[in-house]
Structure 1
């Protein structure tokens, strides 16, 4: 498991990078579809930092497990993560494996993947080579790729049962994402309410994100 001080630094860096969609004004938020640029590595490998994509307006009734959503943090930032847990679900992570309502997700190795580093003056981030896994959620016929850095403090979480109007999101770059596993103070996203859901990603480079 990562040392506590290294985990805090990693979270701080993730938080600084998690404004994954540009913050638009009222008119922008009324557009049915609009383009964005991924500003962090939290959704690699499907949406590398700098990737341009299109997202459509949605509400809680429109979303499905596995969707990549743009959600509004209470402080105003917009986070980009994958929807994993719906109201009533129980979420847990055991040694890096997602457990949904008591059933573990299937993870199949797919080689390695290198996340490019950043020379940000405040939070410099070196390149990291990670294990690439194909994750298939229980009850799903399709999967999505995730990244695993190895044993970290993020590998174990919960279990947490979601209440009415609560949603649980994870970054695909599992060990470098301050998502719903991390409380909103000081650096995480925390559990999401329906009113925070803004958009769903529909076209990164012209194809559905998986």
Structure 2
């Protein structure tokens, strides 16, 4: 065999290896887990800007949004498990097409209302307990370099930014932290009745979250159809406090493989 032929065979094998690797990666991403990097502070302090996690796509089955670029060739949902109240879920926004991550608060048929910042489920206020303060440094965060919103404004760069933290217990017993900064327009809402086949989501950082409390026609999320759910977030793999997840020197040592509650 000539040198040129050997080089040609080597190049062909390399191309085959790359193609197979891409196919396997695509299949893995479609059927099992999808990577997700937290871009905003709407789920603090459960999730921080820069947290990197894998979304469990097997939890709720598969829809057209399970494939990259929403390209699965079917409608509806197959092999679907039922989401549970309190799950932290990645879903496809019903209008703008972006992937969001929020906490599932309302199931089909539930009546949801927020009064003076207190969540009511089917007319009953959830249990709340003080949980101290959430503190972070007032400085640019993540790739967007945005500053956090602080309860103790005005705060100068480099100083401590404080938010009131409360432990909220949902029906069923799941307890998670929520943050409060100030009175906002989403602290008082009408009663929302969740339609069949839809869900109601809220961010844990209640005064800094675009979620189901606001209609998508005016920039919110509204009710999210079941088929738009991509998967459940179970665990943070690692977390970067810098501008990029590749800045390993900014990785947060206390967030490796941290369970999401």
TM range (shorter): 0.7 to 0.9
In the other structure, the counterpart of 1:151 is 183
> SS state of the match for residue 63, structure 1?
coil
Unaligned ranges ≥5, structure 1: 1-24
- Partners in 1 of 2:131 and 2:90 — Cα distance? 27
In the other structure, the counterpart of 1:206 is 257
Q: Which has the higher contact order (CA 8 A, sep 6+)?
A: 1
Give yes or no for contact 1:114–1:127 (8 Å, CA) kept in 2.
no
Q: Which has the larger radius of gyration?
A: 2
- Partners in 2 of 1:202 and 1:37 — Cα distance? 13
> SS state of the match for residue 41, structure 1?
coil
Alpha carbons of structure 1 residues 117 and 89: separation in structure 2 relative to 1, 3 Å: farther
Structure having the larger proportion of residues in helix: 2
Q: Are 1:68 and 2:88 matched, yes or no?
A: yes
In the other structure, the counterpart of 2:33 is 33
- Partners in 1 of 2:39 and 2:149 — Cα distance? 16
Q: CA deviation at 1:150?
A: 2.4
In the other structure, the counterpart of 2:3 is none
Structure having the larger proportion of residues in strand: 1
Q: CA deviation at 1:140?
A: 2.2
- Partners in 2 of 1:37 and 1:98 — Cα distance? 28
Q: Deviations over 1:6-38 (max 9, x none)?
A: xxxxxxxxxxxxxxxxxxx97575140133211
Q: Are 1:136 and 2:136 matched, yes or no?
A: no
Q: CA deviation at 1:171?
A: 0.2
Aligned residues: CA RMSD: 2.4
Alpha carbons of structure 1 residues 124 and 206: separation in structure 2 relative to 1, 3 Å: closer
The runs of 4+ residues in structure 1 deviating greater than 6 Å are: none
Alpha carbons of structure 1 residues 49 and 168: separation in structure 2 relative to 1, 3 Å: same
